[in-house]
Amino acid sequence: MRGPHNILRLVRTGATLERTGAMAVVLDAFEAPRPLRVVARVIGWPFMWLGYKGDPAMPPATRALTALGPAYIKFGQVLSTRPDVVGLELADQLRVLQDKLPPFPAAEARAEIERELGQPVEELFTEFSEPIAAASIAQVHRARTAETGQDVAVKVLRPGIERAFRKDIDAFYLAARIVELFAPGARRLRPIEVVTHFDGVVQGELDLRLESAAASEYAANTDGDAGFALPPVMWSLSSRRVMTLGWADGIPLGDNAALDAAGHDRVRLSERVLELFLSHALRDGYFHADMHQGNLKVAPNGDIIAYDFGIMGHIDQYTRRVYAEILFGFIRRDYKRVAEVHFEAGYVPADRDVDEFARALRAVGEPIFGMDANRISMGRLLSYLFEVTERFGMQTRTELILLQRTMVVVEGVSRSLNPNVNIWEVARPVVGDYIKVSIGPRATLGDLASTARVMARFGPRLPQLVENALIRQATPPEPPRGNGWGIALAAGLAGVALGALAVMALG
């Protein structure tokens, strides 16, 4: 796919950015060095007449990306989850991209369904509507199944979207290489890494089986959550390019007038949406990473319904514990403990001063706690926290960036329902309960038991590992390759196994 068309595509991209006024916005957001700015202007300015005009009512960046088409819109959406790369201001602009594109004909959607599911649409559905929503990758139809008469939402990928995305992604890789070639100082922006991240996200969204699996896993995790519901996946009517979910009847979470008219308690809904997000992130480590009003409804019984599972976040158990301790430390205003957690996790280099770091954290937390309840923001706290930790040498952690971005979105949803919601008071019991379960004596015993189970599988091999390490130690090295490490590792594993087994026996 790589060829001259990529160069032409980049020229048109630069021309569109220049024509819409987005070029300066993007370069400023990336803090682009002078050589890169020169290259960008050389590509964009002389060919500005080739650029798309876009919608003048939109901000420059969203105007340009919308005009350039589906791949660019999706790229903007993905970058909106990376304020560490594009900055908070541009990330906020990109987050409002609505993916409202012209739909493709329903006849093409029907043909796609028949190819994928191997049956005529009339045999699968007694009703099949015109498109009710059209996005950059797919569009949605409302239908009724022939077998059960159930109302469903059928999501169908755009015809040829895989090839179209592949062409644009190739152009993105070329642009990233040009940036690294002509502006070595811009390598800190990690352009290749950013494009690779985008490529991975898109490849996942171009296979609707993966989104169906995400919805299924999310449903299994949250099955017992009161006041929360997900539309079920209809696996028999789903495939790589088609996904069918149960229809979600309800009022959009952003329609306050309709919620009031239906008698829903908006104060409780504002608290519940925050509780659910924190619970999913901490308890499960798997959360909906696009929880804006457009993906949330309120059912007639008051349940919050979530849908659209194209962007999900995952954080491992250790990171969840660190995140919870950091949040709980701020809630208790124990800045020394927050600082210690950063050092213990290896987030901040050990050669930095923990007391100085704690004072810097106090400078972050105290002004926020001094605010009125309706101005306290956990998202703002995390944003300030990342600024401080960066000054102390903390490397960017993309999983926490996605968590922070989602927290900002969820806070916005919550405040739209109740401007006076107290974020900290809502978060305190959720984080506190997680701390009790996951950090402490019971959690330690659970960790030791897990270690013992792993060691039980490798236990029969430990004597041989130790013997092999001793033999290598006795044999003159070729050059040395850390022979002492082998003995230490084997002995350490044996010690951990014996200790864990002893704890289990005593328990």
Which residues 6+ apart lie within 8 Å of 24 measured at CB?
A: none
Query: Element (H or E) spanning 449, and its range?
Result: helix 441-458
Contact (Cβ atoms closer than 8 angstroms) between residue 211 and residue 309: yes
pLDDT of residue 373: 57
pLDDT of residue 459: 65
pLDDT of residue 501: 37
Residue 348 and residue 478 in one domain:
no
Q: How far apart are CA 67 and CA 53, in angstroms?
A: 7
Residue 456 and residue 413 in one domain:
no
Residue 177 and residue 270 in one domain:
no
Instruction: Provide the edge-to-edge strand list for the sheet that holds 125-134.
Output: 125-134, 138-145, 151-157, 242-246
pLDDT of residue 497: 40
The pTM for the full model equals 0.73
Enclosing domain of residue 32: 4-99+162-205
The DSSP bridge pattern shows strands 312-314 and 242-246 to be: unpaired
Residue 367 and residue 430 in one domain:
yes
Using left for φ > 0, alpha for ψ between -120 and 50, and beta otherwise, residue 308 falls in left
Residue 232 and residue 185 in one domain:
no
Q: How far apart are CA 18 and CA 12, in angstroms?
A: 10
Residue 286 and residue 352 in one domain:
yes
Q: Report the amino acid identity of residue 31.
A: E
Q: Which of 145, 179, 205 is the last residue of a domain?
A: 205
Residue 142 and residue 286 in one domain:
no
pLDDT of residue 262: 95
The DSSP bridge pattern shows strands 304-306 and 228-229 to be: parallel
pLDDT of residue 275: 94
pLDDT of residue 71: 81
Q: How far apart are CA 358 and CA 364, in angstroms?
A: 10
Number of domains composing the chain: 4
pLDDT of residue 142: 96
What distance lies between CA 145 and its chain's CA centroid? 33
Residue 196 and residue 300 in one domain:
no
Q: Which of 205, 235, 260 is the last residue of a domain?
A: 205
State the CATH number of the domain containing residue 230: 3.30.200.20
Cα Rg, the chain, nearest whole Å:
26
Residue 13 and residue 60 in one domain:
yes
Helices (H), 157-205: 161-182, 191-205
Of the residues 255, 290, 355, 372, only one is catalytic, namely 290
**Per-residue pLDDT reduced to its tens digit, 367-380:** 776 666 566 666 66
Residue 82 has φ and ψ, to the nearest 5°, of: -125, 65
Residue 347 and residue 421 in one domain:
yes
Written as tens digits, the pLDDT of the chain (507 aa) is 455 667 778 788 888 888 888 787 777 766 666 776 777 777 666 777 777 888 888 888 888 888 888 888 877 877 776 665 666 677 777 766 655 667 899 999 999 999 999 999 999 999 999 999 888 889 999 999 999 999 999 999 999 888 888 888 888 888 888 777 766 555 555 678 778 877 877 887 889 999 999 999 999 999 989 999 999 999 999 999 999 999 989 999 889 999 999 999 999 999 999 999 999 998 999 999 888 888 899 999 999 999 889 888 888 888 888 888 887 888 788 999 989 988 888 888 888 899 998 998 888 778 776 666 566 666 666 667 777 777 787 766 666 667 777 887 888 888 889 988 888 788 888 888 888 777 666 666 665 666 666 666 666 776 777 777 777 766 665 554 544 444 444 444 444 443 443 433 334
Q: Which of 439, 459, 483 is the last residue of a domain?
A: 439
Residue 293 and residue 355 in one domain:
yes
Residue 290 and residue 222 in one domain:
no
Catalytic residue flag (residue 28): no
